[in-house]
Amino acid sequence: MTGNADDTILLAVTGWDPDVWQTEFAKAAPARKLVLDADTAKDKIRYALVWKQRPGSLMGLPNLEVIFSLGAGVDHIFHDHQLPDVPIVRIVSPDLTMRMSEYVVWQVLDHHRLGLRYRQQQTQKVWHEDRRQPAAHEVTVGILGLGVLGRDAAQKLRNLGFRVSGWSRRLQTIEGVTSHFGKDGLKDFLKDVDIVVCLLPLTPETKGILSMSMFAQMKAEGPLGAPVLINAGRGGLQNEPDILAALDRGMLSAVTLDVFKTEPLPKGSPLWTHPQVVITPHAAASSSPQALVPEIIAQLESYERGEPLKNIVDKAAQY
């Protein structure tokens, strides 16, 4: 288990600039060797740090012991069907959790306090104040996914006075939060929600879950009008034509989307210009190399001291 001067770390990222990760590694672990290309050190690579690695690029590394995801989500790893049989560890970090809770609170409050409407009024220089503003305690925010991120967001929304409910695969108990779980629990969860926040992982079970069949189970009218949807989980969770149809039929009153089936969102997507859609560019909780690299190095060191790895992904469930 103990580290050895020859041990090498592979940084296998696509779509992200590797330089800033390399810089942080050089600062946090100057004695460790980091390579961007496996071919230069195939039999020395002991760990791989990955974000959307090229399919097959983790095979043929005889001494690979652990794959570290550089994000909280791991669907980007499972898109590769040629994976070695080693543990996968994902990011669980106070920095990332705080960023996501900020995003969720920001978007929930924006919809709750009629931000879209007021921004539209401002562009037209309209002063129109007759719409009633519901109190937070009249509004139920439902969180799909009560994991590390959903749980923290739920607690912060509770502290703001919202009614909060959640849905998970197995029963999760959080003080002050109404819990639902499993396929059978989804119907009850959906019938009461005014704002739905999706923080689910993308797995074979959750793919496409944000669809017309879900929207049709939500109540037609609440304190904010029709329900609002906020998705900061993954684009593959959502059916984008269904979201647009639900908005146009008044089944959803507004949506915030941080993630998309295709990223960057294609210029031709009608989501860009829909007046009831807020778009952010997969920026809800970005992985910060400054915060995360020291945490990954700390995990490596404790693993090399013989301690068990933390935050191991369940490969069968794919999250």
Binding site for ligand OXD (CB under 6 A): 71-73, 91, 285-287
Task: Tell me which of 148, 197, 218, 246 binds ligand NDP, using CB under 6 A.
Answer: 148
- Kindly tell me which residue out of 8, 67, 145, 255 binds ligand NDP, with binding defined by CB under 6 A: 145
Q: Which of 113, 239, 97 is nearest to 155 (CA)?
A: 97
- For residue 310, the 8-state DSSP code is S
Show the tokens assigned to 177: 């939060």
Query: What does 147 interact with, of ligand OXD, ligand NDP, none (CB < 5 to 8 A by kind)?
Result: ligand NDP
- Which amino acid appears at position 176 of this protein? G
* Smallest separation, CB 120 to ligand NDP (Å): 25
CA-nearest of 170, 168, 171, 162 to 192 is 162
In the complex, minimum distance from the CB of residue 137 to ligand OXD, in angstroms, rounded to a whole number: 32
Q: How far is CA 105 from the centre of its chain?
A: 14
Kindly indicate which of the ranges 36-44, 129-137, 232-240, 268-276 contains the residues binding ligand NDP, using the contact rule CB under 6 A: 232-240
Helices 148-159 and 94-112, axial angle in degrees (round to 10):
50
Q: C-alpha angle 61/64/66, rounded to 5°?
A: 145
Q: Is 172 in the site for ligand NDP (CB under 6 A)?
A: yes
Q: Name the residues annotated as catalytic.
A: 234, 282
Residues 249-278 within binding reach of ligand NDP (CB under 6 A): 258-259
Q: How far apart are CA 89 and CA 135, in angstroms?
A: 41
Residue nearest to ligand OXD (CB): 71
Angle at 315 between CA 204 and CA 86, to 5 degrees: 145
**Sole binder of ligand NDP in the list 38, 61, 73, 111 (CB under 6 A):** 73
Residues that bind ligand NDP (CB under 6 A): 71-73, 96, 100, 145-150, 167-170, 172, 199-203, 205-206, 232-234, 258-259, 282, 284-285, 319
